[in-house]
Amino acid sequence: MKILIVDNEPELRYVLREMIQQLTSHHAIEEADGVQQGIQKIRAWNPDLVLLDVEMNDGTGFDLLQQLDQLNFQLVFTTAHNKYAVQAFKFSAIDYLLKPIDPVDLLESLRRAEDKMKHGNLQHQFQILMQQMNQQQASSDKQIVLKDIDKTYFVKMNDIIYCEADGSYTKFYISNTEPIYVSRNLRSYEELLEPAGFIRSHHSCLVNPKKIKLFDRKIDNGVLILEDGHQIPVSQRKRDYVLQALENR
């Protein structure tokens, strides 16, 4: 695999190169010190994977990507902790590494990149990333990227009925399609979808409030009846929170 490291700090490029060479010996590695040199290297060298810093002296990693006609490579962002940027990466399912970079996390990212080299979804994923970063997209059109073992799904958030915990997996129930299993826990999706109004009614359920038809108080602590007929339990601890969220939707 041909790997391009784009970072404005020489010592960080050196550390990344050394880590990669220590972890595995079968990769060719090139470096670039910023946006413009990164664009030149991508066009001339055609890397398989770009490890891309978010903030650089002559612009951002987003600027670099927007100046390319095609994104014919796998991508891993490298960034200092930025909660909002990380949330956008999660929405788009684009890989990222937090600085200082852990060798174990780096190795996992390299393995994921090799596994995904046959798939060409980065262009669409980047569009979703930028929509999330810019917050320009109407809420009805906002998308989230979901991946199972075989496929990548681009799902409108308004089409999500609810999400259900299944161990370390999350099961997404989507309008007019089969459920999607994703190998991330429900808590991680609660962090993404709660700002969009999704309600954690129970330890195992996260519900789209737009799909709620009624709240039935007669059953236990209450049950949410959804438009498609699903019945979602409300825990005693969450009951007041759910009622307030429904009143404010």
The pLDDT tens digits for 59-99 are 999 999 999 998 999 999 999 867 667 888 888 889 999 99
Cα–Cα separations (whole angstroms), residue 161 to 165, 215, 229: 14, 15, 11
* Cα–Cα distance for residue pair 129/94, rounded to 1 Å: 8
In the chain, residues under CATH classification 3.40.50.2300 are 2-132
Is the domain spanning 2-132 CATH 3.40.50.2300? The answer is yes
Which backbone phi and psi does 38 adopt, to 5 degrees?
Answer: -65, -45
Helix or strand or coil: residue 198? Answer: coil
The residue assigned the tokens 């009805």 is: 140
Q: Who has greater pLDDT, 134 or 57?
A: 57
Domain with CATH 2.40.50.1020 in the chain: 159-248
Q: At what angle do helices 83-92 and 122-134 cross, to 10 degrees?
A: 140
Q: What is the CA radius of gyration of the chain?
A: 21
Under 8 Å between Cβ of 168 and 185: yes
Q: Could you count the other beta carbons within 10 Å of the beta carbon of residue 40?
A: 11
Task: Tell me the average pLDDT of the chain.
Answer: 90
Percent of the chain with pLDDT over 70: 94
Of the pLDDT bands very low, low, confident and very high (cuts 50, 70, 90), residue 118 is low
Predicted confidence band of residue 150 (pLDDT cuts 50, 70, 90) = confident
The verdict on pTM exceeding 0.75 is no
Answer CATH for 159-248 from 1.10.3720.10, 3.60.9.10, 2.40.50.1020, 3.60.10.10: 2.40.50.1020
Give me the residue label for tokens 């108080």: 217
Q: Give the torsion sign (CA, 88, 90, 96, 99).
A: positive
